[in-house]
Amino acid sequence: MDFKQNINKNKLPKHIAVIMDGNGRWARQRGKERIFGHENGVQAVRETVEAAGELGVRYLTFYAFSTENWCRPKKEIDTLMELLVKAIHNETPELMEKGVKLATIGDVDSLPEACRKELFDAIDKTKNNSRLTVTVAISYSSQWEIVNAVKNIARQVKENKIDPEDIDKKLFQTYLQTHGAPDPDLLIRTSGELRISNFMLWQVAYSELYFTPVLWPDFRKKHLYQAILDYQRRERRFGKT
Ligand code: IPE
Ligand code: IPE
Ligand code: MG
């Protein structure tokens, strides 16, 4: 079946967010170290970016590393960070060619210097692209993001720059790292886990959730098309009748 052809271009999700999960299990199934799974996950990111760009999706967000992932063995973290640096470096020319603007959310200060530098170089190089915005969530957790927002609002209140009575949904959103981008219409999680794992808790309030058993390194264009088709079959009501 040609999934791509069945996609309604007038009903595309504007923003797709992806929890890329299952790299470790993918490697284990092949008798390899977990990092082998992470390495093979890069191709899945590449395909997803390409497919989304070709269709005309405007925002794509990847959950690459959570605040909680810092609790993994040091060796896995170090290799993962090296892989991130390498991938960002290698992919930047492709991002330029495809008109992709790179962005990041998360606690960038906690990243190793080399990683931060590569990331901000790529963000700077791609800043004038506008076809598709790809945001990578690194050292990100939604609770961290929300607590930070509260802290910053509290500071403003203390300095009499914000009246507590003026704090509403709209104002709060401007203190989140995702401000400026629309909330995800579609959230995809791979590997069969049915949870959100501290990802964009505020922003997914009305997102359509799509879970697939496919392990992230196996995720290909056709899987993205399937997710979008599933999304297009749903009726979004936003609390209305
Ligand atoms: C997702 O794959 C990538 C990261 C969280 C960094 P995992 O590494 O969580 O793989 P599994 O879930 O153990 O299979
Ligand atoms: C979620 O995957 C985080 C990322 C994909 C970066 P995890 O593998 O860390 O989530 P849990 O531990 O299964 O909830
Ligand atoms: Mg996992």
Question: What is the tens place of the pLDDT at every residue in 179-195?
Answer: 999 999 999 999 999 99
Domain residue limits, the chain: 12-141+183-232
Q: Which of 19, 20, 23 to mutate to test the pocket of ligand 1 (most atoms within 8 A of CB)?
A: 23
Task: Give 12-141+183-232's CATH code, choosing from 1.10.3720.10, 3.30.70.100, 3.40.605.10, 3.40.1180.10.
Answer: 3.40.1180.10
Backbone angles phi, psi at 185, to 5 degrees: -85, -35
- What is the average per-residue pLDDT within 108-124? 96
Residue 4 has pLDDT above 80, yes or no: yes
Q: Is the C-beta atom of 20 inside 6 A of ligand 2? A: yes
Question: What is the per-residue pLDDT across 59-105, written as a single tens digit (0 to 9) for each?
Answer: 999 999 999 999 999 999 999 999 999 999 999 999 999 999 999 99
Query: First CA to last CA across the chain, in angstroms?
Result: 34
- The dihedral built from the CA positions of residue 214, 227, 64 and 106, taken in this order, carries a sign that is negative
| Residue whose C-alpha is closest to residue 205's, from 181, 238, 232 | 238
- What is the 178 CA–ligand 1 centroid distance (Å)? 23
Q: Is 62 helix (H, G, I), strand (E, B) or coil?
A: strand
11: Cα within 13 Å, side-chain hemisphere: 13
Closest Cα to atom 6 of ligand 1:
65
Average pLDDT of the chain is 97
**Could you tell me the two tokens for 221?**
């264009």
Backbone angles phi, psi at 16, to 5 degrees: -115, 130
Closest Cα to atom 3 of ligand 2:
66
